[in-house]
Amino acid sequence: MNDPAGISFKPIGQVSNSIKEKMRHGWSQVESVLIIDPELTDLMDGLEDFSHIFVLFWMHQSTGKFPVKVHPQGREDLPLTGLFATRAPHRPNSIGMTVVKLLESKRNQLRVVGLDAIDGTPVLDIKPYLPKDSISGALYPEWVAKLDQS
CATH number at residue 79: 2.40.30.70
Asked if the structure places residue 102 within a domain, the reply is yes
pLDDT in tens, 72-131: 888 899 999 999 998 888 888 889 999 999 999 999 999 999 999 999 999 999 999 998
Q: Which sign, positive or negative, has the C-alpha torsion 57, 95, 125, 136?
A: negative
The arithmetic mean of pLDDT across residues 1-20, rounded, is 84
Report the alpha-carbon distance of residue 13 to residue 32 in Å, rounded.
13
Residue 81 confidence (pLDDT): 94
Q: Report how many domains make up the chain.
A: 1
Q: What is the pTM of this model?
A: 0.87
The pLDDT assigned to 5 comes to: 72
Residue 27 has pLDDT above 90, yes or no: no
Residue 124's nearest CA partner among 7, 25, 20 is: 7
Q: DSSP assignment, residue 65?
A: -
Range of the domain at 80: 9-131+139-146
63 inside domain: yes
* 78 contact partners, CB below 8 Å, separation of at least 6: 71, 72, 143, 146, 147
Q: Answer whether residue 54 is part of any domain.
A: yes
Q: Are 55 and 97 in contact (CB under 8 A)?
A: yes
Which of residues 53 and 73 earns the better pLDDT score? Answer: 53
SS3 111: strand
Taking alpha carbons only, the member of 101, 106, 105, 98 closest to residue 123 is 98
